Amino acid sequence: MNAAQLLLALQREARNRAYLRRLEVLDDSQSMLKARLHISTGLFVQVYQNDRLATTNLVLIYNGQRLYARDQLDGVWHRHTAAAPDLHDTSAGGRRQVELSEFLNEVEAVLTTMGLP
């Protein structure tokens, strides 16, 4: 998925998931996108895609802290689990590429487990 396709996916998810209050596009160019899906005050999903660098960051942030994430660097994926958000999970499950909708499903599970809105 490139930056333009990711923006379309963000718009679709923002419309279809009631808990997502607002889509904020912070930076959008031909090959790069940075956006936030706001859930509540201080709680959002930040998405970054750079097509030239083959980099994708999907991050759940609460009060400035990463709670959960999946990242692609130079085409290789890893995960930051909710149990250890500062560590790289490079297991088979951690290295698996996910689409935005699947990441948001994972976010919903994390939020439920943590008792967050």
- Cβ-based neighbour number of residue 107 at 10 Å: 26
Domain of 33? 3-114
The reported pLDDT for the residue numbered 75 is 86
pTM of the predicted model as reported, rounded to 2 decimal places? 0.95
Alpha-carbon span 46 to 24, nearest angstrom: 9
Q: In what order do the strands lie in the sheet with 76-80?
A: 22-28, 32-40, 43-50, 55-62, 65-73, 76-80
The reported pLDDT for the residue numbered 1 is 87
The reported pLDDT for the residue numbered 74 is 86
For each successive 10 residues of the chain (117 residues), what is the average pLDDT? Answer: 95 97 96 97 97 95 98 94 96 96 98 95
Indicate the number of domains in the chain. 1
3-state secondary structure of 2: coil
